[in-house]
């Protein structure tokens, strides 16, 4: 699990920095609204997501609505939500 946390932390931090670039969407595979949201997140928020999602965020791309929902959840709920998003038939 520590590897997933580390990967998520690095990816989210990199995406936060890439949001400043016009090529951020190409570099990260994330939409501009998600990059804009990440750009405005604190390092504590990024750390919280990295630790609590329970899945590797590189394997799927969050929509803006999914990221907003993830941020609104309590720590114990974020992993279950992430797994539900991954398992969703709409993906």
More confident residue, 87 or 11: 11
On the CB side of 29, CA atoms within 13 Å amount to 8
Look up the pTM and report it.
Answer: 0.70
Q: How confident is the model at residue 91 (pLDDT cuts 50, 70, 90)?
A: low
- pLDDT given for residue 9 in this prediction: 96
Residues 8 and 89: their CA atoms lie apart, in Å, by: 23
Question: How far apart are alpha carbons 91 and 89 in whole angstroms?
Answer: 5
* CB 60 within 8 Å of CB 85: yes
Write out the residue range of the structural domain in which residue 71 sits: 2-87
Tell me the pLDDT tens digit for each residue of 53-70.
888 888 667 889 999 999
- 3-class SS letters over 30-73: CCHHHHHHHHCCCHHHHHHHHHHCCCCHHHCCCCHHHHHHHHHC
Least confident of 15-19, 59-63, 77-81: 59-63
For the chain, how many structural domains are there in total?
A: 1
């Amino acid at each position: 699990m520590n590897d997933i946390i580390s990967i998520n932390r690095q990816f989210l931090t990199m995406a936060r920095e890439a949001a400043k670039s016009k090529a951020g969407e190409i570099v990260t595979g994330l939409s501009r609204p998600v990059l804009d949201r990440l750009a405005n997140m604190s390092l504590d928020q990024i750390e919280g997501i990295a630790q609590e999602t329970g899945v590797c965020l590189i394997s799927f791309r969050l929509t803006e609505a999914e990221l907003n929902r993830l941020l609104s959840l309590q720590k114990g709920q974020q992993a279950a939500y992430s797994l539900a998003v991954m398992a969703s038939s709409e993906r």
